[in-house]
Structure 1
C-alpha cells in the first residue's frame, strides 16, 4: 500500500499523529494470506 502513495513518509507521519500514544496501528498487505493474518490478529488483540 505504501508504494502506491505519492508521499509514503507523509502517510507514516500522519498515522503516527492520529494514533493514540498507547494505540496500535495494524497494517496488512493483500498478499492472499488472509488465514495467517487472522491468526496473528487473534493473538495480537487484547482479550476481555
Structure 2
C-alpha cells in the first residue's frame, strides 16, 4: 500500500515529523499510543478525525 497520500512531511509542521495529511497528528504519536496499549477504538474515540 502506498502511504504517500496519507502521510506528509512538512518542514514547518510538528518539526518536520511525518504527520497524517491535513492534521497535526504525528505518525509517531499514533504508533506510541498503540505501543502503550491503546486500542484502535480508544484512539478513534479520542481523535475521531482519524476515521
**TM-score of the superposed pair, with normalisation by structure 1:** 0.29
**Greater share of strand:** 2
* Higher normalized contact order (CA 8 Å, seq sep 6+, divided by chain length): 1
**TM-score of the superposed pair, with normalisation by structure 2:** 0.28
**Greater share of helix:** 1
* Larger-Rg structure: 1
